[in-house]
Structure 1
Amino acid sequence: MPSEPTHLPPAPVRVTPEPVALPEPWRGSRLTVVVPTYDEAENLPRLVARLVALDLPELRIVVVDDNSPDGTGEIADKLAVELGGDRTGKLTVVHRTKKDGLGRAYVEGMTRALDDGADYVVQMDADLSHPVGYVPQLLGTLHSTNAGVVIGSRYVPGGSLSEAWGLRRRLLSGWANAYVKAVLAIPVRDVTAGFKIWRASALRALNLPGIESTGYAFQVEMHYRAFRRGQKIVEVPIHFEDRVEGESKLDGAVALEAVLRPLRLRRAESSRRRT
């Protein structure tokens, strides 16, 4: 077993993933986890420790930090050194000069992952709301179903939300999913989900530099592009935890983009059809 980062011990986490066979031959195939961060100093070391504890050969982590005031970027650098630094390349830190949106951070991190030879790319938040124990299941499902993307879904049978989520958050999340599906007709139950795994070929087909969304609407735009390009999308149930430390990054501008972006995507698609 590889040693875990010593900066902060992992905290317990509740997961109920189904056992799924990993791709064979697995060794030689690179799985890269992309994690955007902004003020996640307390959560990031725990997340990295849990990822390392999976003991997946060829696992890599790309942390994209938006110049966090709480020192998350510096902590990520220390974790990279603990994991062997440039010698192993297990953890790469991308330092951005300002907070520029979740979507932009993911595009930069995914681009780095693909450039570095990733065969599979996982998206997950740094706040521990996405239980790490599901990563092998996402990978195995991607392989067994020949999907382009597998989504860790809160809203398929067997999926669930943290008990800490109040009625307002549950209603808002449910409304957001219903709204997006009504506007874009995407056959996905959890279309706003942020925990997923992509094949490298599927990501390249989406034209990452052309992604326009900067906030949480990025998730919707990625799913829509995958759907419009005929990629196979599979959902597996997960238990979605509440964030452990820190505060949500959702603000008014991000919420407004989440409302307007589906309308703009539909309008753009209608224009393409007319031409």
Structure 2
Amino acid sequence: VKLIIQIPCLNEEATLPITLKDLPEKIDGIDCIETLVIDDGSTDKTVAAAQKHNVNHILKFTNNKGLAKAFMYGMNHALTLGADIIVNTDADNQYFGGDIAKLIQPILDKRADIVIGNRQVDTIRHFSPIKIFLQKFGSWIVGQLSGTTIPDATSGFRAYSREAALQMNVVSDFTYTVETIISAGKKNLAIEHIPVRTNKKLRESRLFPSI
């Protein structure tokens, strides 16, 4: 079983090395773990940082295409590389890499096609009350639209089986997180969620820096 961990990046030379060091080198049930960095038109030394830390595969865009397109290009490239499972994580080291093993376990057990990491936003100290409310309300809306019960619909820490990844298609230019859950729900893919840990904030959110 081949696992590819994909990391969309935009000007992450400072945080990418920390994220990469946090990733697991071995997981029970996985024969091969590879990393894929999608550089979304960075103007810093993100690519050099990826190369220095022996990232297996690098996709480099000459201009910024947006997070949603970077995500989809990464997924499609991971499929081309023969991934059986694809894990998406953020380059800012928000998510604890040690939880990747339990994130993919429902897929290895054939219980799920997609697994979403639930950050348990109530426990994240740097999330403001308004951000927590918006996260929960947004997840409820997504649940109504998709017929799923995902408590953290905007989490970027998620795992896809090869079969699920082949069915993903993101139209939005803004973000992939919500659209892929709604699409998966309508396609009757099995979606699970598990509690995951988060790391200390290294930088402000690029999507919602003020809340």
Q: Which structure 2 residues correspond to residues 23-172 of structure 1 after superposition, within 5 A? A: 29-51=1-23, 53-56=24-27, 57-80=31-54, 91-155=56-120, 161-172=123-134
Q: Is the 8 A contact 2:146 2:183 kept in 1?
A: no
Go from structure 1 to structure 2 and tell me whether the alpha carbon gap of 1:76 and 1:143 turns closer, same or farther (over 3 Å shift).
same
**Residue 212 of structure 1: aligned partner:** 171
Tell me the amino acid that sits aligned with residue 248 of structure 1. S
State the shift of 1:160 in Å: 5.3
Once residues 160 and 141 of structure 2 are traced to their aligned partners in structure 1, the CA distance between those partners, rounded to angstroms, is 24
Secondary structure in 2 matching 1:240: coil
Alignment deviations for residues 36-65 of structure 1 (CA, whole Å, 9 cap, x no partner): 0012111111111221x4334410111001
**Residue 250 of structure 1: aligned partner:** 207
Q: Is there any run of 5+ residues in structure 2 with no aligned partner, and where?
A: none
Tell me the amino acid that sits aligned with residue 71 of structure 2. Y
Once residues 58 and 224 of structure 1 are traced to their aligned partners in structure 2, the CA distance between those partners, rounded to angstroms, is 30
**Residue 10 of structure 1: aligned partner:** none
Go from structure 1 to structure 2 and tell me whether the alpha carbon gap of 1:242 and 1:175 turns closer, same or farther (over 3 Å shift).
farther
Tell me the amino acid that sits aligned with residue 247 of structure 1. E
Is 1:197 matched with 2:122? no
Is 1:224 matched with 2:182? yes
Secondary structure in 1 matching 2:183: helix
State the shift of 1:251 in Å: 6.0
State the shift of 1:175 in Å: 2.6
Alignment deviations for residues 194-221 of structure 1 (CA, whole Å, 9 cap, x no partner): 1111100111123x3xx201222x1111
Tell me the amino acid that sits aligned with residue 193 of structure 2. E
**Residue 240 of structure 1: aligned partner:** 198
| Percentage of matched positions with identical amino acids | 25
State the shift of 1:145 in Å: 4.8
Higher strand fraction: Structure 1 or Structure 2?
Answer: 2
Secondary structure in 2 matching 1:186: coil
Once residues 61 and 36 of structure 1 are traced to their aligned partners in structure 2, the CA distance between those partners, rounded to angstroms, is 11
Q: Is the 8 A contact 1:161 1:239 kept in 2?
A: no
Once residues 187 and 115 of structure 1 are traced to their aligned partners in structure 2, the CA distance between those partners, rounded to angstroms, is 31
Once residues 172 and 190 of structure 1 are traced to their aligned partners in structure 2, the CA distance between those partners, rounded to angstroms, is 11
Count, aligned residues? 206
Structure-2-length-normalised TM-score? 0.88
Alignment deviations for residues 47-92 of structure 1 (CA, whole Å, 9 cap, x no partner): 11221x4334410111001121221122112223xxxxxxxxx621
Q: Is there any run of 5+ residues in structure 1 with no aligned partner, and where?
A: 1-28, 81-89, 253-275
Structure possessing the higher radius of gyration over alpha carbons: 1
Once residues 81 and 59 of structure 2 are traced to their aligned partners in structure 1, the CA distance between those partners, rounded to angstroms, is 13
Q: Is the 8 A contact 2:40 2:64 kept in 1?
A: yes
Q: Let me know the Cα RMSD of the aligned residues.
A: 2.1
Higher helix fraction: Structure 1 or Structure 2?
Answer: 1
Once residues 33 and 161 of structure 1 are traced to their aligned partners in structure 2, the CA distance between those partners, rounded to angstroms, is 26
Once residues 134 and 102 of structure 2 are traced to their aligned partners in structure 1, the CA distance between those partners, rounded to angstroms, is 28
Go from structure 1 to structure 2 and tell me whether the alpha carbon gap of 1:130 and 1:251 turns closer, same or farther (over 3 Å shift).
closer
**Residue 173 of structure 1: aligned partner:** 135
Once residues 92 and 119 of structure 2 are traced to their aligned partners in structure 1, the CA distance between those partners, rounded to angstroms, is 16
Q: Is the 8 A contact 2:10 2:41 kept in 1?
A: yes
Once residues 158 and 205 of structure 2 are traced to their aligned partners in structure 1, the CA distance between those partners, rounded to angstroms, is 20
